[in-house]
Structure 1
Amino acid sequence: MLASFFLALREGLEAALIVAIVLGALRRVGRRDCFRLVWRGAATAGALSIVVALLLQWLGWSLEGAAEEIFEGSLLLIAAALLTWMLFWVGRQSRHLRDALHAGVGNAVASPGARGVFALTFVAVFREGVELALFLTAAAFNTSGTRTVAGALLGLLGAGLLGTLVFSSTTSLSPRRFFQATSVLLAFVAAGLLAKGVHEFNEAGWISAGDTPIWNTRAWLSDESPLGSLLGSLFGYTSTPTLSMVFAYVAYFGVVAWWLGSATPARSDRATRIARSRVA
């Protein structure tokens, strides 16, 4: 439930920020008459995202045996990769999002009937909605559907409230700091999705190397216990992990650490060049 809550809060806030930025840009240029197009675009994107989520769930339920395990494993790996890409993308591009949307709004209001405002909002929000549908479907493999839906609804409610605060002119909320804080937690969620995806391929026989459990902590902390369920949803805990699962989990953070280490010098060099150009 907590994993779906944080996933929905993160993705929902990104969508809410997009809507808030577009509304703010329209308000700045005196085009409040286009507000309804923003809400229509967001609502249409939300409805179609729900359809995508239902289709993914139906496809998972319609499969059996090895086909089901392969489908779940593939979806878990895709979700882990997409979530990781999202975390890196936000860290590198979030500071430019507002300027890009403002430029997009300027072009959209010039379109016939300002239909571009609808299209701009729809495309941006639908992308977030499809990502969330994929993440929640993958998260639902590890917990009950009721808990997943409950966590997602609470997360979306929280995202709506935070988005309202951002749109208000009296708030000093820093979305970037929020994203940075949640990125650490969601990195563990992504690592857990990756490990569980490997486990599904173990079950299907696609990954036979290292498919034997290397320890068993069920007597102390079972997967079904409240704490085990919590750790499983947030960090990918399982009482009987296979060697390939542990390897995938550790390798994930190794790759993340390598990427962060290689990206930091590049950012430092760029900042140095900018500082030198200003001095010159």
Structure 2
Amino acid sequence: MLATFLIGLREGLEAALVVGMLVAYLSRMGRRDVLPRLWIGVALAIVLALGIGAVLTFGAYALTFQAQEIIGGLLSLVAVAMVTWMVFWMQRTARTMKATLEGHVDRALAVGGMWAIVLIGFVSVSREGIETTLLLWSMVQSFGDAPSALIGALLGLLSAVVVGWLLTRGLLRLDLRRFFAWTGAILVVAAAGVLAYAIKDLQEAGVVPGPFTAGAPVDLVTGAVATGWGAFPLGWAFDLSAMIPPGSPIAAVLQATVGFMPQMSWLQVVAWVLYIGIVGTFFIRGLRRGTRPARPAPAPTTDAEAPRGATALLAPTTQEAR
């Protein structure tokens, strides 16, 4: 529940802030008459996300086990790709997002068509909606505890709506840069866990070699698939099921937070480590670039010299950072 709550809060707040910026800009321009069109686009995006979730949830029942595992693994890979792209996209465009959105609105109003504003509302929310749906669906498949995971996601989304409304009304102050930095790090770790589970799905389907295929190394004593260093690369990396039962609360917490499973194959471990190492490194570099102070422009030469220390470097405000 905690993992899906944080994902719902993060993704929902992104969408809420984007919609809040659009509403505020249209209101400031005196064009509240087009707000219903914007809300139509937002509603269509929500319906699309719910529709995708329904198709993924109920459509799987008509498939064979192998087909379910293949589709689940591939969709989990898509979710990992979307999350990774969105995390870095937010780092690159956070400072210019407000100006970009306002430019889209200006062009839509210049065209004068109803569907232009509807499209802006739809596109602005559909990205987060589809990403959230795929990620939550993948996590529910891996957790095996749909009710609590869905409740956590719903609470996160509702909290995001409330927080977004308070922010746009000026009733709440929040360091959005720090918030998205921490939640971005959480998403990177969560995506690594989803990637590991995607590998497991594809291994169970026989698409990716591993412990479930004929090429897996076998322990000569027990006759089971080998575990440990000698089982690299197609066997089990470790099996802690005796110490941490797969259905226990601690196993659920570890899987929800860091993507740990009591039994993992070598390919799962390698994929998890490589993802954390590569994506985590670039993510931290992006944070450092974002916090590096900009060099002040040289002051123009004038007859009367300005007092020293009169120029100060101001950090971007919360809205400018968005």
Show structure 1 runs of 5+ residues with no match: none
Distance 1:91 1:264 in 2: 8
More divergent stretch after superposition (190-199 vs 52-61): 52-61
Q: What is the CA distance between 1:111 and its match in structure 2?
A: 3.4
1:155 equivalent in structure 2: 156
Distance 2:60 2:8 in 1: 21
Runs of 4 or more above 3 Å deviation? 260-265, 274-280
Q: Does the 8 A contact of 2:91 with 2:286 survive in 1?
A: no
1:141 equivalent in structure 2: 141
AA partner of residue 295 (structure 2): A
Q: What is the CA distance between 1:258 and its match in structure 2?
A: 4.3
For residues 112-163 of structure 1, give each alpha carbon's deviation from its aligned partner in whole angstroms, at most 9, with x where no partner exists.
3654222211111112211111111111111222223211211110110111
Distance 1:278 1:117 in 2: 42
Does residue 1:172 correspond to 2:173, yes or no?
Answer: yes
For residues 155-211 of structure 1, give each alpha carbon's deviation from its aligned partner in whole angstroms, at most 9, with x where no partner exists.
110110111012113433232321111111111100001111111122122222534
Q: Does the 8 A contact of 1:213 with 1:243 survive in 2?
A: yes
1:205 equivalent in structure 2: 206
| Structure with the largest fraction of helix | 1
Q: What is the CA distance between 1:67 and its match in structure 2?
A: 1.8
2:182 equivalent in structure 1: 181
Distance 1:261 1:241 in 2: 27
1:47 equivalent in structure 2: 47
Does residue 1:224 correspond to 2:243, yes or no?
Answer: no
Q: What is the CA distance between 1:259 and its match in structure 2?
A: 2.8
Higher RCO, Cα 8 Å, sep 6+: 1
TM-aligned CA distance change 1:39 to 1:261, over 3 Å:
closer
Distance 1:262 1:115 in 2: 40
Q: Does the 8 A contact of 1:231 with 1:237 survive in 2?
A: yes
TM-aligned CA distance change 1:6 to 1:62, over 3 Å:
farther
The number of residues matched between the two structures is: 276
More divergent stretch after superposition (3-12 vs 236-245): 3-12
2:73 equivalent in structure 1: 73
Distance 1:262 1:9 in 2: 24
Distance 2:60 2:3 in 1: 20
Distance 1:220 1:245 in 2: 20
Q: Secondary structure at the match of 1:172?
A: coil
Q: What is the CA distance between 1:250 and its match in structure 2?
A: 0.7
Q: Secondary structure at the match of 2:142?
A: coil
Distance 1:278 1:221 in 2: 62
2:295 equivalent in structure 1: 275
2:262 equivalent in structure 1: 239
Q: Does the 8 A contact of 1:109 with 1:115 survive in 2?
A: no
Q: Secondary structure at the match of 2:118?
A: helix
1:88 equivalent in structure 2: 88
TM-aligned CA distance change 1:49 to 1:96, over 3 Å:
same
TM-aligned CA distance change 1:202 to 1:279, over 3 Å:
farther
Q: Secondary structure at the match of 1:219?
A: coil
Distance 1:229 1:247 in 2: 21
- Taking structure 2 as the reference length, the TM-score comes to 0.78
Does residue 1:214 correspond to 2:215, yes or no?
Answer: no
TM-aligned CA distance change 1:190 to 1:22, over 3 Å:
same
TM-aligned CA distance change 1:212 to 1:258, over 3 Å:
same
Q: Secondary structure at the match of 2:207?
A: coil
More divergent stretch after superposition (238-247 vs 146-155): 146-155
Q: Secondary structure at the match of 1:241?
A: strand
